[in-house]
Amino acid sequence: MKIPTKLLKTLIFGMGVFCIVNVAQAGTLENLERERAFLIKTFLDPDLATGARLKKIEMSKPRLIDLERMVLRDDSLTGRNTPVVRKAFSNYDLTFLIHAAAEKNRTPVDIWLEQVGLSTSQLLVAEVVPAITD
């Protein structure tokens, strides 16, 4: 049985719209996590020069501040007792990195390093050992 072209195009278009609508529903916490991941990627990017790194970090701060405030004020998160929500609120300094940095008068990278068990001074005295390949 041959399906009419117009019907086939309509079905494909409808499925595409359905997929787009379902994908575009990220919540405030998910948006914050995504932006924070971009910031951490900037911290760790070995290809960025110091000036470019600082510029990217400063550009991302206002966006992160807004997202952190949105998460803190999101009443829908109060009723959600999922592992992601519990972990986000139990780990304040990592989740709300920019607010934690401002409260402690430190840089976001220092707060992040501290939370993952490192410090700036440890990194400064660390030696780079070249990998041995056979």
Instruction: Of 129, 112, 130, 110, give the one whose Cα is nearest residue 121.
Output: 110
Residue 28 one-letter amino acid = T
**Range name among 23-27, 43-47, 106-110 with the lowest pLDDT average:** 23-27
Say how far apart CA 78 and CA 27 lie, in whole Å: 13
Give the confidence band of 69 by pLDDT, cuts at 50, 70, 90.
Answer: very high
Task: Give pTM, 2 decimals.
Answer: 0.69
pLDDT averaged over every residue in the chain:
82
At 12 the pLDDT is: 61
